[in-house]
């Protein structure tokens, strides 16, 4: 579309907002954009409609069809309401849970969502203040609701907000509901189709009582209470990075029995502006700077940070020289899985009918841990809704031990169906106490796992290709990898290829093709080499980039070999990069 034609189209669309039944605050913002000689904001705000995807909504806040505001949130909620009424027409009363995080406008959006649901005669359990995302999942299941909404943009920058939608099992939508809900949302094209006037008689505020029930369930996950008693004074530094974790995580650490928990005062302040960080993401090293500074001042044992909606956990620990190092998501997931399996074994809880779950881009060491313990491992697509989908499929058939992903999300319970930093923080503190009880630092515990299962190192690389030409280039890259897959990577033969778009696995040693047992197709390729290297390639679903996940394997015979193994792995990763041309 030519620039003049685009400007004409967005101006017409914006003027319809001036004529429609929108509030005066919105109209003032739209007039300002129309009158501004610089039309960049106008175009970005109206050139498309904010898309309701399989995970809900996420976007920059502001007026316009491509922004997060009460009208785009309203259309999503009206569409979801219509879908719920079609699916649960047999129920006398459909009910939902609504929660929100610390972000600017989150409470306002949550109240709007509650009004629209109730206007559609759907009972709403509305949290009275900010709460972690996993607690919303728990409440849906506990209260027997048919759906739920969490207003959050997770760890995105402060300009963003979002809308996570859940089904009756407390998990985000998967097929067929994901596509069918989107169809209903897309039917809402007129603001007058949205029922904005709430029915307060069927909106019920909830809070402390659900907190207590949820935390009781989290406390039931403890596997080493004696180790905690012996190490109750473990020095823990925790930060919620201004978010929801401040409500429950210090409390759950105390209820687990930890008496020496220090918080980062500046980041315990609830704020959607996230004033102390550039990005409120525990995957970013800078987000833990203040916590590490606090830990250095008190000689702490571990640093833990949760993201704004308290579903992701990042940690830092000390090395042999007393320096603080960040632990990545693969390492944390590996330690969680090992600990859960080890303790279930010791406590006689394993019967041969248990399973663990990871995503396909998460370290293969977890598979080695599960295999050695003779526990079934399920590999699923990236995103916690796929882990929850496995849990739903296995409910009543097999017993869930735990699951996680490389992007800092972990779940040790089945009473919740989304990643949970509340339980993860409590268990990570317990794991640290357990390691100390066994005469090990956290890092020594990790090193011992590498000695037992082999060393592994992972690196994610994103190649950005913007615009229409960039999208075409990414599409061509995937086509080229399929048509001409590499035969060698970094000097090692490719022995297996998994193509999740065709759902075919090719064994290049035997020449045998076999089917991949997955619930749906996905544009992901994986290459496995003879030396244990795994490369996963996939286009991003939300950004103009193609992602490469590289995992290389090595050997460790003693803790003293750790840094040499790391150096060798880093060199190998560079060779892999060069082989792939990224």
- Residues tagged active-site: 154
* SS3 state of residue 20: coil
Query: Do you find a cis peptide bond into 176, omega within 30 degrees of 0?
Result: yes
Joined tokens for residue 68: 């997060």
354-359, strands of its sheet edge to edge: 376-380, 354-359, 399-405, 409-411
Please list the helix, strand and coil fractions of the chain in percent, rounded to the nearest 5, in that order: 40, 20, 35
In Å, what is the CA distance from 516 to each residue of 391, 417, 453, 498? 19, 24, 26, 8
> What is the DSSP secondary-structure string of 481-503?
HHHS--SEETTEEEEEEEETTTT
Residue 428 CB neighbour total at 10 angstroms: 24
Q: Provide CB contacts within 8 A for 509, sequence distance 6+.
A: 495, 496
Residue appearing with tokens 């705000």: 45
Nearest of 363, 406, 356 to residue 554 by alpha carbon:
363
The residue count for the chain: 582
In terms of C-beta distances under 8 Å and separation of at least 24 residues, what long-range contacts does 33-40 make, across chains too?
Answer: 33/63, 33/64, 39/7, 39/10
H helical segments located in 257-307: 289-298
Give 483: exposed, middle or buried? Use CB within 10 Å, 0-12, 13-18, 19+: exposed
Give 488: exposed, middle or buried? Use CB within 10 Å, 0-12, 13-18, 19+: exposed
Q: Provide CB contacts within 8 A for 344, sequence distance 6+.
A: 223, 350, 354, 401
Using alpha carbons only, give the angle 438, 363, 424 rounded to the nearest 5 degrees: 55
* SS3 state of residue 456: strand
């Amino acid at each position: 579309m030519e620039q003049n034609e685009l400007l004409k189209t967005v101006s017409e669309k914006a003027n319809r907002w001036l004529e429609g039944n929108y509030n005066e605050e919105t109209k003032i913002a739209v007039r300002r954009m129309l009158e501004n000689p610089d039309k960049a904001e106008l175009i970005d705000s109206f050139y498309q409609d904010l898309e309701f995807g399989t995970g809900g909504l996420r976007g920059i806040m502001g007026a316009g069809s491509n922004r997060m505001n009460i009208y785009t949130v309203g259309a999503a909620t009206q569409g979801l309401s219509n879908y719920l009424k079609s699916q649960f027409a047999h129920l006398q009363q459909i009910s939902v849970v609504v929660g929100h995080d610390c972000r600017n406008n989150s409470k306002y959006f949550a109240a709007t969502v509650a009004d629209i649901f109730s206007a559609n005669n759907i009972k709403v359990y509305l949290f009275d203040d900010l709460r972690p995302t996993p607690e919303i999942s728990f409440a849906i299941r506990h209260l027997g609701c048919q759906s739920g909404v969490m207003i959050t943009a997770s760890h995105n920058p402060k300009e963003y907000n979002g809308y996570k939608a859940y089904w009756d099992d407390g998990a985000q939508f998967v097929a067929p509901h994901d596509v069918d809900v989107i169809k209903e949302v897309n039917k809402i094209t007129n603001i007058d189709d949205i029922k904005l006037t709430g029915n307060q008689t069927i909106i019920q505020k909830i809070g402390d009582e659900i907190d207590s029930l949820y935390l009781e369930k989290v406390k039931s996950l403890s596997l080493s209470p004696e180790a905690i008693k012996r190490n109750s004074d473990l020095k823990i530094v925790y930060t919620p990075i201004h978010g929801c974790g401040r409500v429950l995580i210090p409390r759950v650490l105390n209820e687990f029995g930890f008496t020496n928990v220090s918080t980062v005062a500046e980041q315990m302040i609830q704020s959607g502006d996230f004033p102390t960080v550039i990005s409120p993401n525990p995957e970013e090293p800078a987000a833990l700077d203040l916590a590490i500074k606090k830990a250095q001042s008190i000689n702490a044992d571990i640093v833990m940070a949760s993201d704004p909606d308290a579903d992701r956990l990042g940690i830092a620990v000390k090395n042999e020289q007393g320096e603080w190092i960040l632990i990545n998501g693969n390492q944390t997931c590996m330690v969680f899985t090992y600990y859960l399996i080890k303790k279930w074994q010791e406590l006689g809880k394993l019967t041969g009918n248990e399973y663990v779950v990871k995503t396909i881009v998460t370290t293969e060491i977890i598979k080695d841990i599960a295999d050695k313990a003779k526990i079934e491992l399920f590999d699923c697509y990236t995103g916690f809704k796929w882990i929850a989908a496995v849990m739903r499929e296995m409910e009543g058939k097999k017993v869930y031990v735990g699951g996680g992903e490389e992007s800092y999300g972990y779940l040790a319970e089945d009473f919740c169906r989304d990643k949970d930093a509340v339980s993860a923080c409590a268990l990570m503190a317990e794991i640290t106490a357990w390691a100390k009880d066994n005469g090990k630092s956290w890092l020594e515990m990790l090193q011992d796992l590498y000695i037992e299962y082999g060393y592994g190192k992972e690196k994610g690389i994103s190649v950005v290709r913007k615009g229409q030409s960039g999208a075409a280039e990414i599409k061509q890259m995937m086509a080229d990898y399929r048509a001409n897959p590499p035969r060698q990577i970094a000097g090692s033969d490719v022995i297996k290829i998994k193509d999740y778009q065709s759902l075919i696995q090719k064994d290049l040693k035997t020449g045998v093709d076999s089917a991949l047992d997955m619930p749906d197709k996905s544009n992901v390729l994986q290459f496995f080499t003879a030396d244990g290297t795994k490369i996963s390639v996939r286009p991003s679903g939300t950004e103009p980039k193609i992602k490469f996940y590289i995992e290389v394997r090595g050997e460790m015979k003693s803790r003293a070999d750790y840094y040499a193994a790391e150096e060798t792995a880093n060199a190998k990763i560079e060779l892999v990069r060069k082989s792939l041309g990224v």
